[in-house]
Amino acid sequence: MIEIPPEVYAEIVSHFGSSDGRQSTAFANCQYRLGHLSRGTNDIASLKNLRLTSKLFSQAATEVLFKSSIIRWPCESTYGSSSRFSDLNKAMSSAFTTPTYGLLPFIKNLEVCFINRKNDPFTISGLAGSKEVEKCQESREIPEKIPVALNNLLKLEYFSFGVGWWESEYSGEGLGSGSGSAPEIDLQLLSSTIHNIAIGISTLPLLTCLNLDLPCTHDFVELFNLVPVAVFSGLRQLHVAITDATGPGGSKSYHYWADEEGDDDECVPSSNLQQQYPNAKHAHGLFNIVEKCGNLQHLSIAGTQILDGNLLHWTPALLGLQYVQLARVKISAENLIKLLSPGMGMILQSSTLSTVSLYDVDLTAGTWASVFRHLSLCPQLSYLNPENLSYTRDGESSDLKEFPGRAWEDCANLWSRNEEDEEELMRLVKVLVERAGGRAKYPSDRMEQFMLPEEEEEEDDDSDSDSN
């Protein structure tokens, strides 16, 4: 019998895999959390059947199946507690911590997620702390196993770790009533978890995509001190987000409870974590990590309390970033343009920037018009989603700031008194729509086309009908 090289099996199996492989999707906003991986269009049935054909086909098909699949740990039942899911999580924990487990070399993408309140092991009290004891204990054991698990997953390319979204709560009597509450966080468990993440990702030689949704900016200070530079320099995609929104300035929703004559939210209660490590005070740790990442193509930064982007002293490499998302960040126009530009000495026409999403971003100096003019000159830019862009109250351009009537819910592309800002934004979006082939082919799921007059859409429809 003729022996067929393994490469031929791999080539045959590849035709049943997704054409785009492990490609990054456009950033999708869900409380500023991003999904970086496409699930692809694998022919799952055929790949499973091929695994039953022979040992070599099984190995090749398994490789393709795992390449575009994200392993989530712990698994969660959609319908409440389930012994079946509990058994599965125990089996996964055992597999990840057993070096001889056969599938470990195939796993490329791992997500450790505690976003569901029912399995949040970090809250002791508060709304996020009401959970089933058994499920909580099961969740508490997983962070302890992260270093061993990652040490066994040496082929891992994508790692994501996320914790729940925590906000202050009110009973409906207003900020001054003293009726507010904030969750109490298990600081010891959180500290040991951050340490375990640092130790774990330090052992991953192939890691190119890192997604961290952590409670506070101080967590990134710890990671900065513990993780080797080589790990960060190997990254191509970095998403960092803060998830503890308790305390003043943590969420726009707090303005709903503010006094009618202002939007002061100083009375909003903070978690014990924010009391000890305020997000604003330790934001430099987050930006220090970005500065270690010299080869990034995708960057996402999302804050709760507004992050000062002017603390970022970093220039993208060579052709610059391809994807940029900022949420709840303040930054000067000059520094934002620098972030959206190619590397030092490269001309703007060489930029590979294709996707930009900006949410609740305030300029401390300069104008949005200058930013939009810069983006219009980026030859590969194909998508822009601007939401609630404005100016800081105390910056050089504060006189250009327009204030929404209901800050907790009003939404617009721009809150600006500068007409040139609106003109340049409209001009830029028209360029992007034209590049896409018309408004019908350009995204409009969020506020991408919100600034364009409706009559232009009707004119587009008329011109299409005339051409037919």
Sign, CA dihedral 343-344-350-353, equals: positive
pLDDT of residue 20: 44
- 142's CB contacts (< 8 A; 6+ apart) are 73, 74, 89, 93, 112, 121
Q: Cβ distance 202 to 147 under 8 Å?
A: no
d(CA 179, CA 14): 59
Full-model pTM: 0.83
Tell me which H or E stretch contains 51.
Answer: helix 44-51
Contacts of 458 (CB under 8 A, 6+ apart): none
CA end-to-end span of the chain: 61
User: Are the C-beta atoms of residues 391 and 329 closer than 8 Å to each other?
Assistant: no
Strand partners, 301: 240, 326
Q: What is the Cα–Cα distance from 277 to 300, expressed in whole angstroms? A: 22
Contacts of 239 (CB under 8 A, 6+ apart): 34, 36, 210, 211, 212, 213, 298, 299, 300, 302, 325
Amino acid in position 360: D
Q: Cα(266)–Cα(180) distance, rounded to whole angstroms?
A: 12
**pLDDT at site 67:** 67
Secondary structure (3-state) at 314: coil
Strand-pairing partners, residue 384, are 356
| Bridge partners for 109 per DSSP | 158
Using alpha carbons only, how large is the chain's radius of gyration in Å? 24
Digit-by-digit pLDDT tens for the chain (468 residues) are 467 777 776 666 676 665 444 333 333 333 333 333 334 456 667 766 777 777 777 777 666 666 666 777 776 644 444 554 566 566 667 777 777 666 788 888 999 988 765 667 898 865 444 444 455 566 678 888 999 989 998 889 999 999 988 998 875 555 555 567 899 999 999 999 999 999 999 999 999 999 999 999 999 999 999 999 999 999 999 999 999 999 999 988 887 766 544 456 778 899 999 999 999 999 999 999 999 999 999 999 999 999 999 999 998 888 899 999 999 999 999 999 999 999 888 899 999 999 999 999 999 999 999 999 999 999 999 999 999 999 999 999 999 999 988 887 889 999 999 999 999 999 999 999 999 999 999 998 888 999 988 754 445 555 555 555
